Amino acid sequence: MANIKKQDKNRFRKIYSFIRRKPSNEFISTDNGIIESVEIDFSSSTSESYTFTETYSSNPTVVVGSTSAVGSGINIFVSSLSTTSVTVDASSSFTGTVSLLVIQ
C-alpha cells in the first residue's frame, strides 16, 4: 500500500505575508501505484467478469460506473473481487458499457 501525504502547496515556501492564501492541497506518494482502466461491454446480461492485466499483492480498490446503458434505474456493483479478477453485476439485464478503474 502506498504511503500518501497531504501537503499545502501555498505553504511549501516560508512566505509570511499579511493575508494568508487559501490552501491548495496536493497528495504526494512515496511508492509507485498501479492504475488500470478498462471498459466492459454488457449485452443483455446481468454479470460480467474481468481478469486484471497487472499483478496486485492485495485486493485493489475498484470503481465502477455505467457510461452508456439502455434504460434507467440500473445499479452497477462489484459482486466478487480478488487479486486476479473482478466480477461486476447489474440489477437487471441491460446492453451498454461499464467503466472500471482499478487502483492500488
Q: Which domains does the chain have, with CATH numbers?
A: 4-103 (2.60.40.2080)
For each of the chain's 104 residues, which pLDDT tens digit applies? 567 777 777 766 666 666 666 778 887 777 778 889 999 998 889 999 999 999 898 999 999 988 765 566 888 999 999 999 999 999 888 888 999 999 98
Strand partners, 47: 89
Closest C-alpha to 78, from 104, 56, 60 = 60
73 half-sphere exposure, CB direction, 13 A CA radius:
0
